[in-house]
């Protein structure tokens, strides 16, 4: 039986000594959740804002449209938004949007009018020639999901969870009592941001919801996505491209179909870990070779890395326990 005491001790220390105000840590295998606990003023069934952990869930919704023959990774954004691309001589495709290679200029996280910002003329770089992190690009992913499905994109996202019994995914910030602390000090008006229901960062969930998704991906049994889609979504899309701040090549990762693939991260024991982190310190990571995934939900505006806390320590404690 795997023993994850060190991972839970890490989380307990980070709450007791700071900087985490509260946290929920959950660990699962292909068979389901094997360990789950809450720390500080939290319970294991609390919702937390996921911030950018939203991205792979939205990506799974887009993959479902690909599986149904309604999109391909090569579908241009202009198929859904013909007015997109003013002042650009390139073609932005779904694969660019999900791999941070679209060249769409990135506004502040709480900037209003996402569709208008997406349609602004100009670019950061030509699509497919470099990688720079873009949350606004997921407004384009949402537009393509709506174009393909004929329904609001949020419906496709919540359906991701429903396929594996995860019923807690929501874009309603009122579902959580864990608004990020110090958000304003980090330049984000959280109330203004939450009202956006941002397709790149606005989802909220419980640890069990993400663990259900992780377990299904570890089983690779077709309950969430097909085996072919499971393999395709982990194919690196940024290999060999210049990686611009804030994710330089020295981080040892590539972007796949929405997933952060940490194949050569210098701080990790495992080399096949993939997943995503979020702006308030949320973490969701899967390591197929070890048959394990973990979720850390917390609420520190700007993430706990700015306090010198290294999440790779938690990664390695989970990997060693597995």
> Would you say residue 1 has pLDDT above 60?
no
Average pLDDT, the chain: 97
Strand 292-298 relative to strand 22-29, pairing:
antiparallel
Longest dimension (CA), the chain: 58
**Rounded mean pLDDT of 93-104?**
98
Q: Compute the CA torsion angle 95, 98, 101, 106 (nearest 10 deg).
A: 140
Specify the pLDDT at position 87.
Answer: 86
Going 124 to 129 to 133 to 138, the CA torsion angle's sign is positive
Statement: residue 306 has pLDDT above 80? yes
pLDDT reported for residue 192: 97
- pLDDT, position 19: 96
Tell whether the model's pLDDT for residue 106 goes beyond 70: yes
Residue with tokens 């989970």: 318
Q: pLDDT tens digit string along 182-211?
A: 999 999 999 999 999 999 999 999 999 999
- Check whether 280 has a pLDDT greater than 60: yes
- The residue-averaged pLDDT of 307-314 equals 96
Q: Which domains does the chain have, with CATH numbers?
A: 5-321 (3.40.710.10)
Q: How confident is the model over 232-272, as pLDDT tens digits?
A: 999 999 999 999 999 999 999 999 999 999 999 999 999 99
pTM of the model: 0.97
Task: Give mean pLDDT, residues 112-138.
Answer: 97
**What percent of the chain stands above pLDDT 90?**
98
Contact 131, 99 (CB under 8 A): yes
Task: Provide the pLDDT for residue 178.
Answer: 98
Closest among 249, 204, 240, 267 to 129, alpha carbons compared: 240
Percent pLDDT > 70 in the chain is 100
At 62, is the pLDDT very low, low, confident or very high (cuts 50, 70, 90)?
very high
Q: What are phi and psi of 284, to 5 degrees?
A: -145, 110
């Amino acid at each position: 039986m795997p023993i994850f005491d060190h991972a839970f001790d890490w989380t307990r220390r980070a709450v007791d000594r700071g900087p985490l105000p509260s946290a929920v840590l959950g660990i699962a295998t292909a068979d389901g959740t094997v360990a789950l606990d809450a720390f500080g003023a939290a319970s294991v069934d609390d919702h937390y804002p996921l911030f950018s952990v939203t991205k792979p869930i939205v990506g799974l919704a887009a993959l479902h449209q690909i599986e149904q023959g309604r999109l391909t990774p090569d579908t241009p954004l202009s198929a859904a938004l013909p007015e997109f691309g003013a002042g650009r001589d390139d073609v932005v495709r779904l694969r660019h949007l999900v791999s941070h290679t679209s060249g769409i200029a990135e506004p502040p996280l709480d900037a209003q009018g996402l569709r208008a910002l997406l349609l602004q003329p100009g670019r950061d770089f030509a699509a497919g020639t470099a990688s720079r992190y873009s949350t606004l690009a997921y407004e384009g992913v949402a537009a393509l999901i709506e174009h393909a499905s004929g329904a609001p994109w949020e419906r496709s996202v919540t359906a991701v969870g429903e396929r594996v019994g995860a019923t807690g995914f929501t874009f309603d910030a009122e579902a959580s009592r864990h608004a990020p602390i110090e958000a304003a000090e980090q330049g984000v008006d959280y109330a203004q941001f939450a009202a956006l229901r941002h397709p790149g960062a606005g989802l909220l969930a419980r640890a069990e919801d993400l663990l259900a998704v992780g377990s299904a991906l570890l089983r690779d049994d077709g309950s969430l996505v097909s085996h072919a889609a499971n393999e395709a979504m982990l194919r690196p899309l940024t290999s060999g491209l210049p990686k611009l701040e804030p994710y330089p090549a020295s981080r040892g990762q590539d972007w796949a179909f929405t997933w952060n693939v940490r194949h050569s991260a210098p701080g990790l024991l495992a080399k096949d870990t993939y997943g995503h982190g979020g702006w308030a310190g949320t973490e969701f990571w899967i390591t197929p070779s070890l048959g394990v995934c973990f979720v850390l939900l917390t609420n520190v505006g700007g993430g706990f890395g700015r306090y010198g806390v290294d999440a790779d320590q938690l990664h390695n404690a989970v990997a060693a326990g597995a």
